[in-house]
């Protein structure tokens, strides 16, 4: 895999895409922010659940998270146990770093709709943030089983494998993510979250893995871009670029030669 959801796709972070609604097949990034003060009128008691949900969506887009929660909760009062609204509530709480509450809502969404791919993916995000990578992988795999055409699910799966240092498995998941959506690591969106890599070394390694992935697929431009980022991040294993078979074609490119000749100080010759 290669972009960090979570986490900006591209900050220099590992993408973790959070799913918004069951109709969406890709995920988007959003920064974790502190909860803002309430700035809108309270939900109307006469509004329908659908209207309240849409108003919650609009508020969430504006990052008015507390107000969005009010509207989602009001919608749930009119439509209790609605899996889609519970999933949106969990995403909002996740963006507010209320991880315990978010986890409960994703679990409630799954209980309401056992096959909810989005809720399972998002529960995987919570488990990933808790460093429970094995559990995260299980949830991502369940999400993929329910919706095998989602590039974001595969990118999240790759992230979990990457954090477990299972790099070949991560590469396979990332490869599938890129096959489904070549821009999966480059887009931003309003429904995802990016989780920082645990260390600068991991971040640099992540960029190198992406460079390998795109080189394997014959995407020279993207491969060179991620290789440049790996160099800038100070990837210590950079000499492998002269041995890894994925880079065989790239090594004959003049841009590759120029890039490696201009490697930053501190990267061993």
pLDDT tens digits along 158-175: 989 999 989 889 989 999
pLDDT-derived band at 183, boundaries 50, 70, 90? confident
How confident is the model over 199-221, as a mean pLDDT? 88
The C-alpha atoms of residue 159 and residue 9 are separated, in whole angstroms, by 12
Q: Which of 87-101, 197-211, 243-257 comes out lowest in average pLDDT?
A: 197-211
Backbone angles phi, psi at 194, to 5 degrees: -110, 130
Which pLDDT score is estimated for 198? Answer: 60
Q: Which residues pair with 18 in a beta bridge?
A: 28
Residues 227 and 180 both lie in one domain: no
Which pLDDT score is estimated for 197? Answer: 54
As a whole-number percent, the residues of the chain with pLDDT over 70 amount to: 80
Closest CA relative to residue 76, chosen from 94, 49, 57, 58? 49
Question: Which residues 6+ apart lie within 8 Å of 32 measured at CB?
Answer: 95, 97, 193
Q: Return the SS3 of 163.
A: helix
CA distances from 219 to 7, 46, 72, 131, 159 (A): 22, 54, 43, 32, 21
CB 7 within 8 A of CB 186: no
Structural domain tally of the chain? 2
Which pLDDT score is estimated for 65? Answer: 95
pLDDT-derived band at 228, boundaries 50, 70, 90? very high
pLDDT-derived band at 189, boundaries 50, 70, 90? very low
Residues 75 and 87 both lie in one domain: yes
Residues 70 and 190 both lie in one domain: yes
| Domain extent for 219 | 199-269
pLDDT-derived band at 262, boundaries 50, 70, 90? confident
Residues 29 and 156 both lie in one domain: yes
Residues belonging to the chain:
269
**Does the residue 18 lie in any domain?**
yes
Residues 160 and 259 both lie in one domain: no
Write the secondary structure of 111-136 as one string of H (helix), E (strand) and C (coil). HHCCCCHHHHHHHHHHHHHCCCHHHH
Q: Return the SS3 of 233.
A: coil
Residues 177 and 58 both lie in one domain: yes
Q: Which of 104-108, 191-195, 240-244 comes out lowest in average pLDDT?
A: 191-195
**DSSP code of 157?**
H
Which pLDDT score is estimated for 33? Answer: 46
CB 7 within 8 A of CB 16: yes
pTM (2 d.p.): 0.76
Residue ending a domain, among 146, 165, 198, is 198
Residues 113 and 45 both lie in one domain: yes
Tokens of 183: 């821009």
**Does the residue 209 lie in any domain?**
yes
Q: Are strands 193-195 and 14-16 parallel, antiparallel or unpaired?
A: antiparallel
For residues 41 and 9, which has the higher predicted lDDT (pLDDT)?
A: 41
Residues 183 and 206 both lie in one domain: no
55-114 pLDDT per residue, tens: 999 999 999 999 999 999 999 999 999 999 999 999 999 999 999 999 999 999 999 999
How confident is the model over 249-263, as a mean pLDDT? 92
């Amino acid at each position: 895999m290669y972009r960090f959801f979570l986490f900006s796709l591209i900050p220099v972070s590992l993408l973790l895409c959070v799913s918004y609604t069951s109709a969406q097949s890709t995920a988007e990034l959003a920064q974790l922010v502190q909860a803002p003060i309430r700035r809108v009128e309270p939900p109307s008691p006469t509004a329908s659940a659908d209207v309240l949900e849409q108003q919650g969506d609009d508020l969430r887009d504006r990052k008015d998270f507390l107000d969005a929660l009010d509207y989602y909760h009001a919608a749930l009062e009119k439509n209790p146990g609605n899996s889609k609204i519970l999933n949106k509530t969990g995403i909002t709480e996740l963006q507010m770093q209320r991880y315990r509450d978010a986890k409960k809502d994703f679990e409630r969404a799954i209980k309401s709709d056992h096959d909810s791919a989005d809720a399972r993916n998002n529960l995987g995000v919570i488990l990933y943030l808790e460093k429970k990578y094995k559990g995260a992988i299980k949830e991502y795999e369940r999400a993929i089983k329910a919706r095998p055409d989602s590039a974001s699910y595969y990118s999240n799966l790759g992230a979990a494998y990457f954090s477990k240092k299972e790099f070949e498995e991560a590469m396979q998941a990332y490869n599938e993510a890129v096959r489904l959506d070549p821009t999966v690591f480059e887009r931003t969106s309003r429904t995802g979250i990016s989780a920082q890599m645990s260390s600068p070394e991991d971040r640099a390694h992540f960029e190198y893995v992406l460079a390998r992935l795109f080189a394997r697929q014959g995407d020279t431009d993207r491969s060179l871009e991620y290789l440049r980022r790996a160099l800038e991040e100070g990837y210590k294993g950079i000499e492998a670029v002269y041995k890894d078979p994925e880079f065989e074609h790239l090594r004959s490119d003049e841009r590759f030669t120029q890039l490696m000749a201009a490697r930053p100080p501190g990267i061993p010759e």
